[in-house]
Amino acid sequence: MDQGDHDRPALLLLPGLLCDHASWAPVLPWLAPHARCHVPDYSSEASLGAMADRVIDEAPERFALAGHSMGGRVALEVLRRAPGRVLRLALLDTGYRSRPDGSAGDDERGRRLALLALARERGMRAMGREWMRAMVHPARLADTALVEAILDMIGRQTPERFAAQVDALLARPDVSALLRSIRVPTLVACGRDDAWSPLAQHEEIAALVPGSRLAVFDDCGHMAPMEQPRAVADALVAWLCSPAATSRERAWAN
């Protein structure tokens, strides 16, 4: 280990639905001088709790934690289970409510299962092309490098893993009370044009977390770390370098 490693905090970067290390890779060059980064792999787990347990089992004693999309949900489950080990928290393009009751919840389930059926019938990459229409800023759908990176990432997964992750998300808990209890420096961030996890939802999350900071990435959809890596990195570096909480409330002042 380099001597400088002792001065950099451990940072766990949690990927979202059907994502892996590639979802965070574009951000890593800017984060490396400030943190020892690791992207856990919990893609084979079938519940948010099991994903969180996998992260905790492989984590160092203390760490900063950033989660994107489903990874934000996993990050909150990590915080619930091991609050004393999490130094900082960043939640990107994610949500906090459980699946709604009634027709709205049925509609969500139907949309997710339709994509799963497509994956089983035509393959993961074919499903990914359909999935991306709501996940990437419309202007970036013509960006071949970005599109192929996302499709390659999705193609490394399987319909079986997709089904397990869909089940995990459909069974997600409401975490409003957990958000109100957070007392570590917290960043809430999203693409301004995120159609799946909209800005208004992140404004609600930021309002629930004491002292949190909200960052918004322009010209960006749901896949913020891949669409706007420099803007995401700048927000994360500012979060990593912000003063640690010292007051009784430990709120991070904006």
Does pTM surpass 0.85? yes
pLDDT in tens, 44-88: 999 999 999 999 999 999 999 999 999 999 999 999 999 999 999
Q: Is the pLDDT of residue 7 over 80?
A: no
Interatomic CA distance for residues 224 and 229, integer angstroms? 7
- Cβ count within 10 A of residue 3: 6
- 55 and 95 part of one domain: yes
Report the amino acid identity of residue 64: A
DSSP string, 96-127: -SPPPSHHHHHHHHHHHHHHHHHHHHH-HHHH
**Would you state the pLDDT for residue 192?**
98
Residue 115 maps to a domain = yes
Phi-psi region of 141 (alpha: psi -120 to 50; beta: other; left: phi over 0): alpha
- 181 and 63 part of one domain: yes
Give the domain range for residue 139.
102-168
Q: Is the pLDDT of residue 254 over 50?
A: no
Into how many domains does the chain fold?
Answer: 2
* Confidence category of residue 6, pLDDT binned at 50, 70, 90: low
**What CATH number is given to the structural domain containing 228?**
3.40.50.1820
Residue 114 maps to a domain = yes
φ, ψ of residue 95 to 5 degrees: the values are -145, 175
CA angle 67, 68, 72 (to 5 degrees): 50
Closest CA to 55 of 27, 31, 85, 28: 85
Which of 168, 189, 206 is the C-terminal boundary of a domain? 168
- For residues 175 and 223, the answer to whether their CB atoms sit within 8 Å is no
- Could you identify the residue written with the tokens 């990432």? 153
Which value, in Å, is the radius of gyration of the alpha carbons in the chain?
17
- 93 and 21 part of one domain: yes
- For residues 36 and 54, the answer to whether their CB atoms sit within 8 Å is no
Which of 152, 168, 184 is the C-terminal boundary of a domain? 168
Residue 246 maps to a domain = no
pLDDT in tens, 152-178: 999 999 999 999 999 999 999 999 999
Closest CA to 123 of 91, 146, 151, 100: 151
Closest CA to 123 of 18, 9, 229, 228: 18
Which of 151, 168, 185 is the C-terminal boundary of a domain? 168
State percent of the chain over pLDDT 90: 87
pLDDT in tens, 192-229: 999 999 999 999 999 999 999 999 999 999 999 999 99
Residue 18 maps to a domain = yes
On the 0-12 / 13-18 / 19+ scale of CB atoms within 10 A, 111 is exposed
